[in-house]
Amino acid sequence: MTERDGLKKQQIDSLDLKFHFGLLGGPLLLLIVTWLTFFNASFDTALLLKLLLVSSIYTLGYSLSYYFHQGRLTRLWQHLQQIVHINDTTFELVSLSSHYKNEQAFLDALLKKAVSSIEGAEMGSIIRVDPDNQQLHFESAVGINLKKLRHVKFHLQQSFEFRLTEGRCDRVVVIDNMENINSHSSLTEAEQEILLTAPNNPIRSTLSSPIQIDGKLYAMINLDSSVTKAFGDYDRNLVSILTHEAENAISLYQKTRQIQTLANYDSLTSLYNRQRFEARMESWNIKPHFGSYLILIDLDNLKQINDSGGHQAGDIALRSLAQILRRYWHENHLVARYGGDEFIAVCHGPLEKIVADLNEIQQQLDSEISKVQFSYGIAEYSNNWQQAFRSADNEMYKHKRSKNVLRDISLETPTMNTA
């Protein structure tokens, strides 16, 4: 059976032989009938030769027209394939956004996909725009030495995107003579030298497109080639589509990360929240030769701080403790705000090191914010979460009660008068 699915044939449209014969035979038959009817011509050899000549010219014209038409459809199909590829690429990036550890890793992946999507592109870079002062810095690069590029410090007004769009930065621009553009730049000679030597091959053509997020200039993506005049209007249009999809991908990535942050982190302290902590506990790696310990930490006087200084003072106390905990433990241990004025951590031993850390944390807290104390409880952890939590909770309240007893004794002890 004849396959009529144009997508499977990788073509937009095609005509079968019956249709071709109809387009060729119909007009020729009409021509013969008209000639014989209106000109009373007899059907002789001369007429036959004339009809053959006209038929040949018509067939040649029809063939050329169909050839050019099919060529245009082929180019449209290739364009459609590239657009579909760009859409698939950005969709893949967004769907796998949780796999990227930060936004720079996401932009690295996006740039690699962009370079591979534009036929003439050999290299590329993404330049981030600081929204506060309009300073530019190179965030990602493909085929260019990123370490060298990061030595270039320049302002948005010094970029050729800004200059060629008269400051609007609202469209894709094509640069065919990079050396001439750079020679009119206000960058220092050393910075211009970096831009010339950082690429693996000299850049002679560049496509530059602004990336707008929520109506603000977020970055500029540059796609480069070592060939002069490597990009045309078709590439400009394709990069415009790519940039639009990139804007959607970056925006969705940022929103996805914001949702993940809200779901996994405490908004006040930026530590893990209770849900994320308990989920991470399932994959905690116990090291028998060091031991693992669960630590509960509770602020002693948060209510008094709130009563005397307001809830803002209490928030400052909680954030200060969280920052110090992160400074000591967050890289190698699990630390979270468990709720209210209570923090929780799982650390590798030895136990003496943990106790010493807790004493230093209290000293750091005293130096940063006065009159903020905490009590703690420590329990050995060996994959029995409930038992370790109960033990640490009991130890923490014992520590808190012992401090209260000492405080009461100090208040009840009379002051000795000296003669």
For the chain, domain boundaries: 17-91, 104-263, 274-412
Give CA–CA dist 333/148, Å, rounded. Answer: 35
Mean pLDDT, residues 63-78 taken together:
81
Q: Residue type for 8, please?
A: K
pLDDT in tens, 105-125: 889 988 998 898 888 999 999
pLDDT for res 4: 47
Confidence of residue 1 (pLDDT cuts 50, 70, 90): very low
Mean pLDDT, residues 150-165 taken together:
90
Confidence of residue 130 (pLDDT cuts 50, 70, 90): very high
Structure-token pair, residue 352: 């003496």
Q: What is the mean pLDDT of the chain?
A: 84
| CATH number of the structural domain 274-412 | 3.30.70.270
pLDDT in tens, 295-321: 999 998 888 888 888 888 899 999 999
Percent of the chain with pLDDT over 70: 87
Burial 8-47 (b: 16+ CB within 10 A, else e): eeeeeeeeeeeeeeeeeeeeeeeebeebeeeeeeeeeeee
The CATH superfamily holding the domain 104-263 is: GAF domain (3.30.450.40)
pLDDT for res 408: 55
pLDDT for res 418: 41
Residue 88: C-alpha distances to residues 81, 93, 113, 246, 307 (Å):
10, 9, 10, 11, 56
What are the helix (H) ranges across 96-121?
Answer: 103-117
pLDDT for res 368: 83
pTM: 0.66
